[in-house]
Amino acid sequence: MSAPEINPIEATYRRLKAAGKDLLKLYSGNPNEQGIHFPGEILQASYSRYFEKQDYFPHPKGLKVARQAISDYYAGQKAEVDPENILLTSGTSESFFYLFSLLTQAGDNVLVPKPAYPLFDSIAELAKIELRHYALREDLAWSIDFADLEAKRDSRSRAVLLVSPNNPTGAVSDLEEISTLVDWANSHDLPLICDEVFSEFFFGEGAFPRPMALTKPKLCFTLNGLSKMLALPGLKLSWIAVTG
């Protein structure tokens, strides 16, 4: 078996690192590599309670106490979601696979931004669907090119994906852009999938602009998880919050 291909950025990083260069890895999505670590004593206390009393009460949606905590998190940011409308998953990639499988039949398509996280394409391949990549305007702070979005939509489009904050551009959709997108999606009866895994890294004024809190999508799936939120890349606890 041949070795996996390494992209040019990572290859350059490894070459310079091997040469002894002191580098700041700006393209890394792992906060631990930047010296950001979740307090170990909190994790140790949580783990110790499990080993003292190893109860197991599974639920198809995830533990109620965890779903309630997520609901409370959103309520604190003026976004209402019923705990019964929250589904826990093992990582956001699993959330995407569930949604791609739920919303589509083989041959359907989902509209996703470009650039975006490349793993979306692999997940779509597993779900046997097509991704239609709509453009983001680099000349307008990576905002949505709505003309291109409309051009990519057809009768087999089943959902539109908003990644805000965007990976890799870092762009955050404001209320005007969100409202335009939601009105467009509602007019075509398209569910909105909101990838908000980097929302805790929002440093703008006021609260982070969430579509489910600021607008009224007919159907909205909001994705987030602890991996990015708490700087714990190994803790793959994520969720889908359903509103609308």
Q: What's the CATH number where 189 sits?
A: 3.40.640.10
Q: Considering the domain boundaries, does residue 30 fall inside one?
A: no
CA distance 190 to 160: 7
| pLDDT tens string 98-120 | 999 999 998 899 999 999 888 99
Residue-range definition of the domain harbouring residue 221: 62-243
pLDDT tens digit sequence for 159-202: 999 999 998 899 999 999 999 999 999 999 999 999 999 999 89
Tally of domains in the chain = 1
Is 205 a domain residue? yes
Q: What is the pLDDT of residues 4-39, one digit of tens each?
A: 678 888 899 999 999 999 988 877 777 788 788 888
Query: Which DSSP state fits 231?
Result: T
Would you state the structure tokens that stand for residue 127, as one six-digit string? 């779900």
DSSP state of 219: S
The mean pLDDT of 63-77, rounded to a whole number, is 95
Does some domain include residue 4?
no
The model scores a pTM over 0.95? no
pLDDT in tens, 224-233: 999 888 888 8
Span 86-100, average pLDDT:
96
- Mean predicted confidence (pLDDT) in 194-219: 94
Q: Does residue 122 lie in a domain region?
A: yes
Q: Which of 179, 181, 132, 134 is nearest to 158 (CA)?
A: 132
| Cis preceding linkage at 60, omega within 30 | no
- Residue 46, pLDDT > 60, answer yes
DSSP characters for 138-200? GGGTTEE-HHHHHHH--TTEEEEEEESS-TTT-----HHHHHHHHHHHHHTT--EEEE-TTGG
Computed over every residue of the chain, the mean pLDDT equals: 92
